[in-house]
Structure 1
Amino acid sequence: MSGAAHTPAPGGGERRCGFVAVLGAPNAGKSTLVNALAGAKVSIVSPKPQTTRFRIRAVLVEGPAQIVLVDTPGIFAPRRRLDRAMVGAAWGGAKDADFALLVVDARTGLTEAVRAIIARLAGQRRPVWLVLNKVDLIPRERLLPLAAECNALLPFAETFMVSAQKAQGLERLRARLAEAVPPGPWMFPEDELSDLPNRMLAAEIVREQILRQTHEEVPHHATVETEQWTERADGSARVDCTIYVARPSQKAILIGDGGARIREIGRRARAELSQLLERPIHLFLNVKDRPGWDEETGRLRALGLDEEEG
């Protein structure tokens, strides 16, 4: 923790700091919104639902305010132990926050999943803001009726219409976030963008490439763990990751003909990690089939998940 309460922030003004949970159904664009607000890649993104599996804190500085955005997994009806842990992580993030942003995909609107989330939020006492995302993809005349329909279910403290992908409408949201967080000391150093350790960042970047380069059942039955991180004298690092899948057939798909797919996953992940960390990364991938990994307590804890209820 840095500074004392009510100390001036860089550039003047009383310091403010608060935690904001970013909630929504899968594929609402929560991680894209968090990355756009933070101005840097903090969470992995893909077109597939349930990309985010655990809470990630992104640190955003706006004037004298430090806003800690808590990116959470999409909330859905859980089936596996992994699913239950992900949904628990989402509601746990909301429980500890000063207020919450409910991100709704404007294209799909008020689905049953969104209605269920709103119903649960209505029973809580913290302020909730509505963020209609992907507004660039639908006719503008549909936006006000959708906002009114959502506010009829829960009177939101604020309503925003944005396109995270196109960075539209974000300046007003950033400014209002900065005004709304309470006075108090900053929780993170000025130059810190996220609380995600490098070992978990490496695993997530590899998993993002699995999501982008494989289809059907493989992405949701794969997890990645960084087994070893070795610093080298020349400033580079060797990173060894293991990819676990549920079945031998999924292992074969991931490896590809003659190892072509796993090499491409490694090549793209290595390039992105080197860019994000601003130094050479030597990435080595191993694939193992481990049936039932998504029901194992040890594997879930390695992902930063517990079966908590928010």
Structure 2
Amino acid sequence: MIKDTPQETDFKAGFIAIVGAPNAGKSTLLNTVLGQKISITSKKPQTTRDRILGVVERPGAQIIFVDTPGIHRAHSLLNKKIVDQALSAVDDVDAVLLMIDVTSKDTESEALIIEQLQKRNKAVVLALNKIDLVKSNEILPLIARYASLHEFKAVIPVSAKTGDQTEKLLAEVQRCLPPGQRLFPKDTLTDVSQRFIAGEMIREKVFRLTGMEIPYSIAVTVDAFKETPRLTEIHATIHVDRDSQKGIIIGKGGQMLKQIGAKARMDIQRMTGTKVMLKLFVRVTKNWSRDERIMKEFGY
């Protein structure tokens, strides 16, 4: 970690894990408070597979958010590893931001997360997300209901999508930080590379454009990432489990793959500020999501 000089007095800095059930809005919140997209989103659960850092600079504080995959009762090898990664993040941070989707019926995952938090001596701020989708007279009963489940430092209703109440949420999170100097240089947004984010943006488009079963069977590897001041050239491979999935990703006449590439290219160009030449390949890597060796090769 790089510390700035000269030292600032009364400064606070630390790590905050954003945890929650799948689709609670964790990545949306992170992108909103950063003012830039670094974590991918979709309406399908378990879009996020990796821990991603987002650094928020505030007067007198630096908040380093750790966006984590959704926590749920996992059964497959891949999902178990993803959930283990999310829970291990809780052990490594100074405090926790728990996000709950107030429109969700996934009480099992919520109970599992609160059970795990009760085993750990961490300050927890609760964000009740998607309040833009509930009636105003329902908000106070929701706060009372969830406040009874755990000793939260604060319970804040928010809308990650619109940004409503996120400033109040950041202020509450900041109170949980320990005193200390800046842990990242002032202009840092994240610790992950543009190469990594590009791969995630491609994976996001697969999640958004294909049917329910396909996204969970794919992984994306970035095989080449060459940058010049005017052009970024990227070669990436979409790995699937089975031959039949390859045809779905490519689509009739290659149309699905072209659509994935076009939408991913637009996002990557916004990120890099350059023109992007994106070449996508589809490869069958049989049963990759059940093979521990291959999962490690893919970064899981």
Letter in 2 for 1:181: L
Q: Give the secondary-structure state (helix, strand or coil) at the position aligned to 1:22.
A: strand
**Contact 1:54/1:303 (8 A) holds in 2:** no
Q: Does residue 264 of structure 1 match 2:259?
A: yes
Give the 5 Å matches for 1:147-226. 147-226=143-222
Structure 1 residue 144, shift from structure 2 partner: 2.2
Q: Give the secondary-structure state (helix, strand or coil) at the position aligned to 1:117.
A: helix
1:29 match = 25
> Which residue of 94, 100, 107 maps to 1:104?
100
> Which residue of 8, 14, 19 maps to 2:10?
14
Structure 1 residue 4, shift from structure 2 partner: 6.0
1:296 match = 291
Structure 1 residue 190, shift from structure 2 partner: 1.4
> Which residue of 206, 221, 227 maps to 2:223?
227
2:47 match = 51
Q: Give the secondary-structure state (helix, strand or coil) at the position aligned to 1:43.
A: coil
Question: Partners in 1 of 2:13 and 2:110 — Cα distance?
Answer: 29
Q: Give the secondary-structure state (helix, strand or coil) at the position aligned to 1:153.
A: coil
**Contact 2:12/2:178 (8 A) holds in 1:** yes
Question: Partners in 2 of 1:97 and 1:42 — Cα distance?
Answer: 20
Percent identity of equivalent pairs: 37
Question: Partners in 2 of 1:231 and 1:108 — Cα distance?
Answer: 42
2:110 match = 114
Structure 1 residue 177, shift from structure 2 partner: 2.4
TM-score, length basis structure 2: 0.95
Q: Does residue 286 of structure 1 match 2:281?
A: yes
- 1:41-66 C-alpha deviation (Å, 9 max, x unpaired): 12001111101001000010011211
- 1:184-231 C-alpha deviation (Å, 9 max, x unpaired): 121212111111122211110000110111112111111101011223
**Contact 1:17/1:187 (8 A) holds in 2:** yes
**Contact 2:3/2:185 (8 A) holds in 1:** no
2:37 match = 41
TM-score, length basis structure 1: 0.92
Relative to 1, partners in 2 of residues 1:14 and 1:86: Cα closer, same or farther, differing over 3 Å?
Answer: same
**What runs of 5+ residues in structure 2 fail to find an aligned partner?**
none
1:244 match = 239
Q: Give the secondary-structure state (helix, strand or coil) at the position aligned to 2:148.
A: helix
Question: Partners in 1 of 2:295 and 2:74 — Cα distance?
Answer: 15
Q: Give the secondary-structure state (helix, strand or coil) at the position aligned to 1:291.
A: coil
Question: Partners in 1 of 2:5 and 2:117 — Cα distance?
Answer: 30
CA root-mean-square deviation: 1.7
Structure 1 residue 300, shift from structure 2 partner: 2.5
Letter in 2 for 1:37: V
**What runs of 5+ residues in structure 1 fail to find an aligned partner?**
306-310
Q: Does residue 2 of structure 1 match 2:19?
A: no
Q: Give the secondary-structure state (helix, strand or coil) at the position aligned to 1:287.
A: strand
